[in-house]
Structure 1
């Protein structure tokens, strides 16, 4: 775009869009709370009472609880896919354009529905990289998080670039 990089400006780039970013964060928080509640319901319908941590691990490893593992994983997958679909390009879009959080989320959802294989691969790649980055006591996130943020910006630009921007060399 012909703008010279500046550390100070980059650290405060979110400031003009704070309201919409906060609304989007609130939407994600509500979705996460519903996800937690749904997971708790699956757990409550399967077991009598709440086991402690050790009891939970033993219950998860017990082959008699296959139905619970399948249901719990399915609920988690549904919510993870839903949250990914509404957020995959929302934050870069909120930073780049003068748009509201709902429009950004719906645009992200439309992109995922239009390109399910590409977006599915992108989601899998993010999951694998973040999981690997968490193995060395989360220190890998110091490298992986900025790289994924930068890659997400380029993915957003490639997915929603204006036609004249795509044609430019």
Structure 2
């Protein structure tokens, strides 16, 4: 059989310019989807929390690696949230938000989603290595426990460590955010190729720097709540981020039949 590629898959989308107040609408819409999805959303949130708990057990005596992976696995969050995007898509088109179909939502665009997931995995591994190096530079006498690291940061005993660690981590987080903020929802909705989706995401950030910075700050606060509650809060905060991200995509990217810039 001859396979005819979808001509819209690599078509560059029209990016809308939005107001900063749109961020509050995204969060509100995400919360609505969380409530509509119920168990399905909580399932994905529990997966995030379970990943944190598992890493805490496995890397209990390797605080540098645990800190890097615990914060770094959120860099992989856009891919892990794929099922949440599909739940929001189903709610939007009037379908029941059932869990089972969302578990394989990546299949229709497997190759491109796999490429994007591989990129995120590479970034995660690089960040984990960078985290170990930063720890080694500031704790030459031996690596502290994770509790000691938290105490050191909160009490400003080593302010220079906190500044360097969060600066390096922030660089990786900004990079992942810029290439993925609308990329994976678009790959789900339009079967877009990975390169087009990543470039469109970068362009969306460039055209809407204020709203995107505010949205990134919201994600950081929600993630911090999750960490502050020993990952328990991720059960709610990560589904909220995932559902809201779908609405970011739907508002920032114009419908395919529309060609005008707003």
TM-score bucket (shorter structure): 0.7 to 0.9
Which deviates more, 50-59 or 29-38? 50-59
- CA–CA distance in structure 1, aligned partners of residues 149 and 110 of structure 2: 40
Residues 1:68 and 2:161 are matched in the alignment: yes
- 1:15 equivalent to 2:107? Answer yes
Q: CA deviation at 1:93?
A: 0.9
1:121 Cα deviation from its structure 2 partner: 0.7
Structure 1 length-normalised TM? 0.79
Q: Which one of 242, 247, 257 corresponds to residue 149 of structure 1? A: 242
Higher relative contact order (CA 8 A, sep 6+): 2
Q: 1:135 to 1:71 in 2, by over 3 A?
A: closer
Residue-pair matches, total: 166
Which has more helix, going by share of residues?
A: 1
Q: CA deviation at 1:57?
A: 5.5
Is the aligned partner of 1:47 residue 2:136? no
Task: Give how far 1:55 is off.
Answer: 6.0
Partner of 2:61: none
* Post-superposition CA distance 1:41-67 (Å, at most 9, x none): 22233332542416655765563x332
CA distance in structure 2 between the aligned counterparts of 1:118 and 1:140, rounded to whole angstroms:
25
From 103, 110, 113, give the equivalent of 2:206: 113
Aligned-pair CA distance for 1:146: 3.0
Provide the rounded CA distance (Å) in 2 between the counterparts of 1:55 and 1:138: 18
The structure 1 segments of at least 4 consecutive aligned residues displaced by more than 6 Å after TM superposition are none
Alignment correspondent of 1:84: 177
Match of 2:73 in 1: none
How many Å apart are 1:32 and its aligned residue? 1.2
CA–CA distance in structure 1, aligned partners of residues 195 and 238 of structure 2 = 25
Bigger shift: residues 143-152 or 1-10: 1-10
How well do the aligned residues superpose, as a CA RMSD in angstroms?
A: 3.0
Secondary structure in 2 matching 1:80? helix
